[in-house]
Structure 1
């Protein structure tokens, strides 16, 4: 009498397991497609082809909403992807939004999808040098009571950090990000520059150490060619943003995009 329930349970798992595996495989395939589409959005935005980039972003929205991501993506990942393509869809048509901001949205989304889809070598890790390179200048300026350029350099750092922040929520613990946020909030207060040089240097050093520990865990392939950069200047603020993805990833994804090109929505 006991064998029948056991047999039913075994049959249930035999039927369910292939279905679950197929569902996971489908989700992984869709995620790979979204990653490739995010690169298309980035490349089109970089070329100022905003209408075409918008059409791809709308296709991303439709594709993402159609998929059941339960058990595949976390709530944080779902939320960041949704915010990412919504920013692009809202931002690209705005004439008052300059090309740097439009490229920023596309860059953020490209790095975000890469962070979710890739197990190693995240694109956001390639921003380590410009991010960490800000600190020698910041420390020098904060020692000089006559300096008026501290917050110009600080704004460069904040711009870069904001660009990679969505990706960091995927790869870095909330506790670490909260600590970094607290340091940055203190530095952005007007009272910060009125503190002693020792106090200011201590706060900057703590932020530098926390950011350094974030980049220290990035698994990067030294054999890969360096990423190229577009340097966009607005007044004294320099915004560094990705121009190309790692060459090996780009070549592989380009072949797949060519096969899928016929399925892109037409403008």
Structure 2
């Protein structure tokens, strides 16, 4: 009898706490799932539907804030999500915004929410291979003195890095991101073209090492390859044109604010 009483007391004490944790986790999971829906709709060019989901996302985010989502999202993360939501909404509602820009904003928004929710295996980690492989081409272009191809490959690299940058501000320290940014700025500067071949290769190697360190902080994500597949098979959507401008914008926002879904829809 005494055992039963003790068991009942333990159950009463345990369930409210478990319920609270589940509620907080559920709120963040719901927001992440909504960001995935926005991504999928944007991918299919269903912009009106994506806008409706974004409006609902805003309502759920405000409700989560009132209910104390700060326990699972920091104040800076909430502000960053709100900013990304605003940019995403503005992009989708504008008829003048190109399809590739809308798609990229959706991919960034999706990966940002995943970075906040995931403790490991973030979606942005799935872009390690194409980003790191780009250095092989960049170094080859320098050795061949092919400046035109180098610039095209460099723009491609920047497009990929820009895509994951908002998520990096969640998972990677500001110090590491500043180091990567400094190396990028050196290559972007016009004086880079005046350097010797060995100096150029040295600069690229430093950038490559810093990025390798960034990716090594997370386990490789082999469970959610579809985002990588979508990005890489849309070629022109994120190739060349989406370059350093976007990176600078998100870098500025990241400095200012400082801070999986398990089954990715196929």
TM-score by length of 1: 0.78
State the Cα deviation string for residues 88-137 of structure 1 (Å, max 9, x = none).
Answer: 11000111111111011111111111111112211111111111111011
RMSD: 2.8
| 8 Å Cα contact 2:43-2:103 kept in structure 1 | yes
| 8 Å Cα contact 1:76-1:170 kept in structure 2 | no
Whole-angstrom CA distance in 2 between matches of 1:116 and 1:154:
29
Q: Specify the alignment match of 2:112 in structure 1.
A: 112
Q: Please list, as runs of the form range in 1=range in 2, the aligned pairs for 1:145-160 lying within 5 A after superposition.
A: 145-160=145-160
Q: Specify the alignment match of 1:171 in structure 2.
A: 171
Q: Please list, as runs of the form range in 1=range in 2, the aligned pairs for 1:9-20 lying within 5 A after superposition.
A: none
Segments of structure 1 that go 5 or more residues without pairing to the other structure are 1-16, 240-245, 255-267
State the Cα deviation string for residues 167-211 of structure 1 (Å, max 9, x = none).
Answer: 111111111111001101111011111111111111100000111
Structure with max Cα Rg: 1
**Cα separation, partners in 2 of 1:225 and 1:197, compared to 1, 3 Å:** same
| 8 Å Cα contact 1:115-1:171 kept in structure 2 | yes
**Cα separation, partners in 2 of 1:92 and 1:38, compared to 1, 3 Å:** same
Q: Specify the alignment match of 1:197 in structure 2.
A: 197
Higher mean displacement: 62-71 or 188-197: 62-71
Task: Give the paired residue count.
Answer: 231
Q: Specify the alignment match of 1:74 in structure 2.
A: 74
Paired residue secondary structure (2:235): strand
Q: Offset of 1:214 from its aligned partner? A: 1.2
State the Cα deviation string for residues 229-259 of structure 1 (Å, max 9, x = none).
Answer: 33232697388xxxxxx895226xx9xxxxx
| 8 Å Cα contact 2:32-2:117 kept in structure 1 | yes
